[in-house]
Amino acid sequence: MGKYFKTAFLNRWNLLAFLGGMAFALISGWPDIVGPVVLAGEIGYLSLLGTHPKFRAYVDAQQSKAARAEGAQQGQQMLQQIIATLPRDLLDRYDALRRQCAELRHIAMALKRSGTAPVELPLEEFQVAGLDRLLWIYLRLLYTQCALSRFLEKTREKDIQSDVERLEDRLGKLAAAADPQTERIRRTLEDNLQTSRGRLENLAKARDNFQLVQLEIDRLENKIRSLSEMAVNRQEPEFISSQVDHVAESMLQTERTMNELTFFTGLDPVGEQSPPLLQTELGTTKKQARQAQDRTVP
């Protein structure tokens, strides 16, 4: 509650009225009478405005906007890296989803201007922030899928399995003598065998993660399309916001999975904020990525 009262008090018109009232109380000759009246009026004003749902929504929206701006700046470099790396088919898939979300938002805003929709329309600040975050997760999933795909293409299971069999065969043929030289050979072979088996386990885990990421991409894509459609079909901001939050919460495990795969992608862990993807054209981002690459080339 403190942030709402603070915002209401620091409003420039309120400060002007309050300070003017207190100055008048001092010069009126009756500060002990006028001063408490001014203070009572100020308390009443703060209590009324600070607890009003629309004012609180406005304050939350402004804070969300500021946080998004900060997150956009921090995530811009990562976004450019992703856009510059993803192949054309994955970029087209992402851009088609982003365009649908943006188009439905424009339809919703047109309803607002025509007067056929409620004053509080879906896809306002909270909904845009929520969809930006879901689009950001979606784009990172595509990048993770691409990184895992490259890893699986470069890692040949047959070669690793052959190394395991060769090392097991050498260990089996190694003499049971306990002389120092034989022990050193045995320890070296056992360590190499353990490493090769670990590579097989990592490869199997990478396959499982690749399949999981593919399923998560399809699921999130379907969720985002559904949320965007509901924004027009159900003009209920609170319902839409709750659904966005519900989907975001359901992605927590997905975020943890992506954070565990940062050694594949090289990306920083998923943070609280995301770049403003909904209203950013892919062409603009690609141009920024090229400019950033040009600046890094000596």
pTM (predicted TM-score): 0.63
Look up the domain containing 208 and give its range: 52-296
Range with lowest mean pLDDT among 22-26, 117-121, 124-128, 224-228: 117-121
Q: Which is more confident, 22 or 210?
A: 210
Count of structural domains within the chain: 1
Q: Is residue 131 part of a domain?
A: yes
Select from 149, 152, 127 the least CA-distant residue to 244: 127
Q: Is residue 27 part of a domain?
A: no
Count the helices and strands in the chain (H runs, E runs).
Answer: 12, 0
- pLDDT(134) > 80: yes
pLDDT of residue 120: 46
Query: Which DSSP letter does residue 219 get?
Result: H
Classify residue 239: in a domain, yes or no.
Answer: yes
Does residue 18 belong to any structural domain of this protein?
no
Rg of the Cα atoms in the chain: 29
pLDDT band at 298 (very low <50, low <70, confident <90, very high): very low
Examine residue 177 and state whether it is found in any structural domain, yes or no: yes
Average pLDDT for 272-297: 63
pLDDT digits (tens, 9 = 90+) for 62-75: 776 666 565 556 66
Structure tokens at 94: 């992402």
Closest residue by Cα to residue 222 from 93, 47, 113: 93
Q: Is residue 112 part of a domain?
A: yes
Q: Is 127 inside a domain boundary?
A: yes
Does residue 137 or residue 293 have the better pLDDT?
137
